[in-house]
Structure 1
Amino acid sequence: MNLHTPAQQIPRPPCAAPDAADPFAATGEPLRWGVVATGRIASNVTEDLAGLEDSVLQAVSSRSQDSARAFAEKFGFSTSYYDDDGVTGYQRLFNDPEVDVVYIATPHAQHHEVARAALESGKHVLCEKAFTVNAREAAELIDLARANNLFLMEALWSRFLPSVNRAWEIIHSGELGEIQWVQADLGFPSDHGSTHRLWDPAAGGGALLDLTVYPLTWALGALGFPAAVTAAGALNDDNIDTQNALTLSYEGGAHAQLTSSLVSSGPGQATVSGSAGWLRTGSVLHNPRELTIHPHQGEQRVETFEQAGRGYVYELRETTRCIQQGLTESPTMPWADTLNTMRLLDGVRNQLGLRYANDA
């Protein structure tokens, strides 16, 4: 697959907070947050959101009244919304004038519908990865945010972690020389039942949208977007990709090999190799607490990292700071990177024969 994308875009480290040692510290006027969905990831992210000095937990929505109320009580939201009288809980939340920004944690296939409703209601949006199911949906949301002068960002939390940004700093410092190859994997044997979102075609299930973005982050961080991608994988009877292997090829000869799986486990590490040395993450690669740096000329060293909260605070701080500063997109997670990633994944799906209902 040849990729017709703009010139390679190397991700940049996020702007440092005024007090980088404390990402929970306020950077401006408080923002009133709404959270859409009450599942595991919403709960984990909200734990960090509750700790931000400049956040107000305003409202949460769920399809279920009991779930919405229990989540609101657990974290201290002022209001809870749920599906009622033909109106979805999330639309009722978006109609609330007390909400400034929403975090969307629904399954992948619902991201476009929910984020579009939020933007049409005048809300800033932080949307979980995978941002959408396909590039068409991503482009529509970006155009809508641009037209309405609203902030929109994909919640790819790894790109904001201190350890990942330190790795990219080392990679682009020249210490490792010219980067020639990247190897990264992430997998686990999922024992969730067939109705779980990971195995549900209607939810956009499968390894590609749920896991591949993490190994891909390391290839993009080290080498940028590739000139071509070759993909192989396995589909089950429900047309869900159980695992996939991608080879990214770059002008000049560099390569990246990426693997993700829902049926097998692996070391969950990333290795970046250059002409003057290599770097390897500790496990797991999407939240490493350790980096091993091995220059060909010099001593190997290990750098370790502390993490604030559950690790989601860094993307929340970036979202908050950008909105406070009147930005519509993050310089760390720009719209072009999100859109080009979805284009890359569309190309992979074409090779695997993988389609979703949202593609219709």
Structure 2
Amino acid sequence: MTGYTAREPTASAPHFIPVPPCAAEGAPSPVHATGRTLNWGIVSTGTVAELVAHDLLMLEDAQLLAVSSRDAARAAAFAAKHGAVRSYGDTPELPGHGHLFADPEVEVVYIATPHGQHYEVARAALEAGKHVLCEKSLTINAAEAAELVELARASGLFLMEAVWTRFLPAIHRALGIIGSGELGEVAWLHADLGFPADQDPRWRLWDPAAGGGALLDLAVYPLTWAVGVLGFPQSAQAAGWLNQDGVDPQEAITLSYPRGRQAQLMASLVGSCPRNATVSCTAGWLRTGDPLHNPPFLEIHPVGAEDRIERFDPVGHNYAYELRETTRCIQEGLQQSPTMPWDHTLATMRLFDGLRAQLGLKYPNDHHH
């Protein structure tokens, strides 16, 4: 198969995602301060930005200083709702986020624009000297991601892809159970995520310029389970189709690992599904509740022992964990998170580039580099 060859990090051992301090068992709540208060800006005012703003306000050492949107009225309404001190909208000379990045008091920004804009917006933020937490997928392709990583590295700034799932206690508990050997060796993994999305070509999910489609929007969550349990694969195959606009409504992905282990991932914008992850092992199996990217419970089924369910209560909308990690890293002078390092983002983008080559999936951004 073309397009994907495993490169570092190979990490074939299971549960190699380290547990962040705020998600470990018995750890302090993610809302408790770990250092000085940081001034935050939020770029874009969509649904995810609303949830993140709510959780950001729970942190003892975070202040929501500013928000930006193309629409000044929307930015002002968002600021009023979430207690942001300032709001910025587009003007003839500068987009709203440009004004926000020019604000000397903003230290760290959360970028919630559509995927197709991540590269240019994150680049502008880093060039303005801001630390960056950017919605997944970090960029459209590996070339864009590598440029952002190099810029962050050279600028001495923190940069992280906002794969919030990696920081949740339920995920770390699951990886701990699998790593403990209680269920034996991992044999295979299945993870699916999908929903029937209204097929409006103007919606970012169906817009090629926005980086629309199931792969970049949904597949990162099933992939998080595969990477957490098995590491990055030796090879990857994708089967799927493209609609009349060249966007992928659905794909099945098979990842192959040493010793015959496999992961099967499904991402769909056309079908409803259980939205869970199942890890099959030689002495039992584990399954998440719905949804797999924020599971309220885990089912553990050891062979020859009692089945059990472990439940997890959310903190706000559960974005507090990635916000705590970002805050802690910046306070400690780290440029990348040990739990969501740049290598993992780059390996993910290379993997997606390879899968896109198999699907024939192209985006306008691909021509820029």
Is the pair's TM-score, using the shorter chain for normalization, greater than 0.5? Answer: yes
For these two proteins, the number of residue pairs brought into alignment is 360
Instruction: Give the deviation of 1:116 after TM superposition.
Output: 0.4
Distance across 2 between alignment mates of 1:172 and 1:234:
36
- 1:138–1:339 CA contact under 8 A, matched in 2: yes
Q: CA deviation at 1:297?
A: 3.0
Instruction: Tell me the equivalent position of 2:5.
Output: 3
- 1:148 alignment partner in structure 2: 155
Shift of 1:16: 3.1
* Equivalence for 1:13: 19
Partners of 2:67 and 2:50 in 1: CA distance:
11
Match of 1:190 among 188, 197, 222: 197
Is 2:302 the counterpart of 1:295?
yes
Instruction: Write out per-residue CA displacement over residues 135-164 of structure 1, whole angstroms, 9 at most, x where no aligned residue.
Output: 000000000000011000000111111111
Letter in structure 2 aligned against 1:214:
Y
* Corresponding position of 1:180: 187
1:1-360 to structure 2, matched below 5 A, reads: 1=1, 2-9=4-11, 10-16=16-22, 20-191=27-198, 193-360=200-367
Greater displacement, 93-102 / 291-300: 291-300
| C-alpha separation in 1, matches of 2:6 and 2:296 | 35
1:65 and 1:266 map into 2 onto residues whose CA distance is 38
Q: What is the CA–CA distance in structure 2 between the aligned matches of 1:7 and 1:127, rounded to whole Å?
A: 21
Greater CA drift, 253-262 or 17-26: 17-26
Please give the alpha-carbon distance, in whole angstroms, between the structure 2 residues aligned to 1:141 and 1:349. Answer: 21
The answer as to whether partners of 2:6 and 2:232 remain within 8 angstroms in 1 is no
Uncovered stretches (5+) of structure 2, i.e. residues with no partner: none
Instruction: Give ranges in structure 1 of 5+ residues lacking alignment.
Output: none
TM value normalised by structure 1: 0.98
Runs of 4+ in 1 over 6 A off after TM superposition: none
Distance 2:55 2:201 in 1: 31
Deviations 1:66-116 (A, max 9, x none): 111111111111111111122111111111110010000000010000000
Shift of 1:172: 1.0
Query: Hey, what's the Cα distance between the residues in 1 that align with 2:359 and 2:64?
Result: 42
Q: Which amino acid aligns with 1:271?
A: T
Structure 1 residue 192, shift from structure 2 partner: 5.0
- What is the distance in 2 between the residues matched to 1:178 and 1:245? 24
**1:166-189 CA distance string (max 9 Å, x none):** 101111111121111000101100
Percent identical residues = 61
Asked if the contact 2:192–2:277 (Cα under 8 Å) also holds between the matched residues in 1, the reply is yes
Equivalents in 2 of 1:268, 1:350: separation in Å?
26
One-letter amino acid of the counterpart of residue 351, structure 1: Q
In the alignment, the residues of structure 1 paired with residue 245 and residue 167 of structure 2 have an alpha-carbon distance, to the nearest angstrom, of: 35
CA contact (8 A) 1:272 1:279 kept: yes
CA contact (8 A) 2:109 2:130 kept: yes
In structure 1, C-alpha distance between the alignment counterparts of 2:355 and 2:283, rounded to whole Å: 32
The 8 Å contact of residues 214 and 286 in structure 1, kept in 2 or not, is answered as: yes
Partner secondary structure for residue 86 of structure 1? coil
C-alpha displacement at 1:191, in angstroms? 1.5
CA distance in 2, matches of 1:17, 1:231: 33
1:103-130 alpha-carbon deviations (Å, 9 max, x no partner): 0000001000000000011000000001
Q: Is the 8 A contact 2:189 2:263 kept in 1?
A: yes
The aligned amino acid for 2:299 is T
Matches of 1:122 and 1:31, distance apart in 2: 14
Q: CA deviation at 1:20?
A: 2.9
Task: Look up the SS of the partner of 1:34 in the other structure.
Answer: strand
Aligned-residue offset at 1:252: 1.2
Residue 222 of structure 1 deviates from its aligned partner by 0.5
- Give, as a single letter, the amino acid of the residue that structure 2 aligns with 1:5: R
Q: 1:53 Cα deviation (Å)?
A: 0.7
For normalisation by structure 2, the TM-score amounts to 0.95
Looking at structure 2, the residues matched to 184 and 218 of structure 1 have their Cα atoms a distance apart, in angstroms, of 7
Bigger mean CA offset, 13-22 vs 148-157: 13-22
What is the rounded CA distance, in whole Å, between the counterparts of 1:203 and 1:88 in structure 2?
17
Contact 1:245 1:259 in 2 (8 A): yes
Which amino acid in the other structure matches residue 294 of structure 2?
N
| 8 Å CA contact retained: 1:185, 1:260 | yes
Q: For residues 22-69 of structure 1, what are the alpha-carbon distances to aligned partners after superposition, in whole Å with 9 as ceiling and x for unaligned? A: 211111100000000011111111100111110111111111111111
Q: Which range moves more in the overlay, 127-136 or 167-176?
A: 167-176
Letter in 1 for 2:211: G
Letter in structure 1 aligned against 2:57: A
After superposing the two structures, state which structure 1 stretch, 11-20 or 60-69, moved more.
Answer: 11-20
Q: Is the 8 A contact 1:13 1:168 kept in 2?
A: no
CA distance in 2, matches of 1:76, 1:89: 18
Q: Is the 8 A contact 2:23 2:168 kept in 1?
A: no
